[in-house]
Amino acid sequence: MKQYLFFLIIVGVVGLIAIVIRGGYYPIALVGNTVLFAKEFKTHYRVAETYYRNAAASYGVTSTVPFAQLERMAMASLIEGALIHTEIQEEIENNVDVLVKDRIDKFMSDTELLQAAKVLYGTSAEELRDVILVPQAEREILTGNLFLRGERLDDWLVSAKKEKRIVIFVGGFGDVEIHEEGAGVPVQ
């Protein structure tokens, strides 16, 4: 009886590990106190890959962005998003959701935009909201707040990256910069 119980426990643990790995529910990075999961990364990467493929096809470009570069861009996007989200949560506290919702509601009710996003990005309405619209709205809110203080978002991102602990648990991202303009410092 004990052998069967032990066997069932082992099978259960292996099954749980398989579900966690297959579903992407394992951490790939830590940004301050925010854990980034593989599932988020895979979604960001898929959206970016679909966008670049569709953009290249529509402009007749035969070369594409190398997959490794696209992966670094997706990781940088996640890191920036986590930094920005944490900052506006600290600054604005309870009103963040209301401000973000106000900014994205007009887009979420536009059926033509949702259809275009599905074609261009390969996303559902929920993915469009979570991957593109919410991070952009949060970026705009923080940019406005920084402007009122006489600061720039690019400078703030460089400073935030230095202040926050950023740990990437998977290989291949050691040279991720935190924004596209190249002023970022490689993640350590």
- Which pLDDT does position 187 carry in this prediction? 40
Q: Tell me: the pLDDT tens digits for 2-38?
A: 788 877 788 788 777 777 676 677 899 999 999 999 9
pTM over 0.85: no
Is 129 a member of any domain?
yes
Q: What is the pLDDT of residues 90-149, one digit of tens each?
A: 988 778 888 999 999 988 999 998 998 888 898 888 999 999 999 999 999 999 999 999
- pLDDT confidence of residue 85: 94
Which has more confidence, 172 or 148? Answer: 148
Indicate whether 66 belongs to any domain: yes
Q: How many domains does the chain have?
A: 1
Domain-embedded: residue 6: no
In this prediction, residue 186 has a pLDDT band, given cuts at 50, 70 and 90, of very low
Q: pLDDT at residue 180 above 70? A: no
- In 3D space, the residue among 26, 30, 53 whose CA is nearest the CA of residue 42 turns out to be 26
**Rounded Cα–Cα distance for residues 42 and 22 (Å):** 11
Instruction: Round to whole Å and give the CA distance between 53 and 63.
Output: 10
Residue 174 three-state SS: coil
Classify residue 21: in a domain, yes or no. Answer: no
**pLDDT tens, position by position, 30-79:** 999 999 999 999 999 999 899 888 888 888 777 767 778 888 989 999 99
Q: Is residue 143 part of a domain?
A: yes
Q: Is residue 148 part of a domain?
A: yes
Q: Which domain holds residue 44?
A: 26-168
The Cα 82–Cα 134 span in angstroms is 12
Assess if residue 63 is contained within a domain: yes
